[in-house]
A and B are shown apart, each in its own frame.
Chain A
Amino acid sequence: MKEFILIFRHENATGKVSPEQMQAWMKQQMDWVGGIAAQNKFVGGTGLLFDGAKVVDHQKMVTNGPFGDIKETIGGYVIVKAENAEEAAEFAKGTPILQGEGNTVEVREIAKH
């Protein structure tokens, strides 16, 4: 079985959601992860904090980011076991992240040595 990373891409992640929304979202995301884990296909995953985030450009310029010019940010990832990318994409369909318009989940196979 192969491993795939599901990368959550957020558009306009300004963090302007109510605590109630956050709570509901968290619960759905946990149920979704639990469902994958119940199939013994959850490998790992985590959220990525925005606090103190930086972007370093090719001139080694460090800016507070990833806000501003960059519209799309990565909010977190989950790694799953799947036979193929199609199955991994099926898993991706279940995440509540996709309820946000413009948000996407990128599915990529993890290279193994």
Chain B
Amino acid sequence: MQSQDLIPHLFRTEYSKLVAVLSKFFGLDHIEVAEDIVSETFLAAMETWPYQGIPDLPNAWLYRVAKNKTLNHLKKHQLFNKKISDGFKKSNSWIEELEVDLSEQNIRDSQLQMLFAICHPSISTESQISLALRVLCGFGIDEIADAFLTNNETVNKRLFRAKEKLRTEKIQLILPSDEEINNRMEAVLKTIYLLFNEGYYSERSETLIRKELCLEAMRLNFLLLENPLTNQHLTNALMALMCFQASRLEARVGGSGEIVLYQDQDASLWNNELISRGNYYLTKAAAWPVISVYFLEASIAYWHTIQEDSGEKWENILHLYNQLLTIAYSPIAALNRTYALAKVRGKETSIQEAEKLGLSNNHFFHMLLAELYRDQNPAKVKSHLQKALELCKTDSEKKLIEKKLSQV
């Protein structure tokens, strides 16, 4: 690896590990101390490596420096006194406790605990995602602001509020009890999925940042899969869903940043490795005798990875949407079901059902009807596309609709 890529790479992979371990060491209420020490460690690398050469094991170097900085901090700071007095009360072996444990196991555990702490229900969703990106994914403030199309000030405010909550709610870096894990899993997975969607549906045309957000979400989900306590039906189902969706990431954005709809995508751009990973996790999720929204969505996404249009494919997709809608209604699922219905029962039936959806203020509704009237009623196609253009909110959608209008 070139030295100019090395620091960003290490920052991405090691920053979050060190912050998680040190936050556990100091206590989560001192997360800022942990962040400062890790930042100083990277600063030290930047100051040293150009002159002394890059160490053979850069991450081991970082760990060693971070450990030393931690001990120095303790010595200088009153925390040291606290540790000593507390330590004496509890046991005489407080010196051993001062060893910062940077074993793989402790890194993994600390990161997982950090994930649960950040997804605490008392923290707002947007603050959760910002903090997750900062602390668990090693994103800089600039990068987070960039990803959310907002400014540094807003991101800093969100991070501040999140950390304040960590303190006031006295949130600890420990894995919740088995029962509490189950209660919190949904919130944790929701944050991960929102992070993924932030990348997947981002307004940003640069695929690089979008891809990174998606990959980070998948990496966090992977942390959950590695621990037997959190390796559950929902965790596998969400991983499958993200794998299938991410497999089409390249194909769904065109050359000028416009969205390319599924039926118009170049299937050779689909990522087969991610598809087979998705199959793996979907099969695992199926081992639990339950049905969940993530599982149904992943199953739908699975059928979409089969390029060939068959009766079986659309029958299954329709069936899955029927099930999904009865447990979790959403306008987009209602519209997608109607599309599947057209494939199974024909456009006429589907148009009749579409009119009953009560979604005429939704631009996707008009795009769907334009699609259903295609090759049948150009005037209707045009009027629905024009309506969609009026209602749509983003540039990439505008581009797509304008392109379709020009083809009528």
Chain A positions within 8 Å of B, measured between CB atoms, are 27, 30-31, 33-35, 37-40, 42
How many Å from the CB of B336 to the closest CB on chain A? 9
Contact present for A38 and B319 (CB under 8 Å):
no
CB <8 Å contact, A40 and B326: no
B334-A40 in contact (CB<8A): yes
Report whether B358 and A37 are in contact in the complex, using a CB–CB cutoff of 8 Å.
no
A33 touching B322, Cβ below 8 Å = yes
* Interfacial chain B residues near A27, Cβ < 8 Å: 319
Expressed in whole angstroms, the Cα–Cα distance for A40 and B353 within the complex equals: 13
| Interface pairs A-B: 6 shortest CB-CB | A34-B322, A37-B325, A38-B334, A40-B329, A37-B326, A30-B322
Nearest Cβ on chain A to B342's Cβ, whole angstroms: 13
- Across the interface, name the chain B residue whose C-beta is closest to A40: B329
Interface membership of B282, Cβ < 8 A: no
Q: Of residues A30, A31, A34, which shows the largest number of chain B Cβ atoms within 10 Å of its Cβ? A: A34
Contacts of A37 in B (CB 8 A): 322, 325-326, 329, 334
The smallest beta-carbon distance between B327 and chain A, in angstroms, is: 9
Q: What's the nearest-Cβ distance from chain B to residue A60, in Å?
A: 38
A90 to B313, CA, bound (A): 30
* Chain B 317-335: CB-based contact to A (< 8 A → 1; otherwise 0): 0110111011001000110
* In-complex Cβ contact of B321 among A34, A39, A40, A42 (8 A): A34
> Which of A30, A33, A38, A42 is in CB contact (< 8 Å) with B357?
A38
Tell me the B residues contacting A by CB distance below 8 Å: 318-319, 321-323, 325-326, 329, 333-334, 337-338, 341, 353, 356-358
B255 to chain A minimum Cβ distance, whole angstroms, is 35
- What is the chain A residue whose CB lies nearest that of B333? A38
Q: Are B325 and A38 in contact (CB under 8 A)?
A: yes
Inter-chain contacts of A38 with B (CB < 8 A): 321, 325, 329, 333-334, 337-338, 353, 357
Beyond A39-B334, A39-B358, A40-B334, is A31–B329 a contact (Cβ under 8 Å)?
no
For A39, list chain B residues within 8 Å (CB): 334, 356-358
| A40 CA / B362 CA spacing, docked (Å) | 15
How far is A2 from B15 in the complex, measured between Cα atoms in Å?
55
The listed residue with most B CB atoms (<10 A of its CB), out of A30, A35, A38, A39, is A38
Q: Contacts of A40 on B, CB cut-off 8 Å?
A: 329, 334, 358
Instruction: Say whether B318 contacts A31, CB under 8 Å.
Output: yes
Are A42 and B319 in contact, CB atoms less than 8 angstroms apart? no
13 more A-B residue pairs beyond the given contacts A38-B337, A39-B334, A40-B334, with a C-beta to C-beta distance below 8 A: A27-B319, A30-B319, A30-B323, A33-B322, A34-B322, A34-B323, A34-B337, A35-B353, A37-B326, A37-B329, A38-B338, A42-B326, A42-B329
Name the A residues within 8 Å of B358 (CB-CB): 39-40
Q: How far is the CA of A75 from the CA of B109 in the complex (A)?
A: 52
Interfacial chain B residues near A33, Cβ < 8 Å: 322, 326
Inter-chain contact B322/A31, CB cutoff 8 Å:
yes
Query: In this complex, what residue of B is CB-closest to A44?
Result: B326
With the chains together, A65 CA to B333 CA distance in Å?
A: 41
A42 to B322, CA, bound (A): 11
A4 to B207 Cα, complex, angstroms: 49
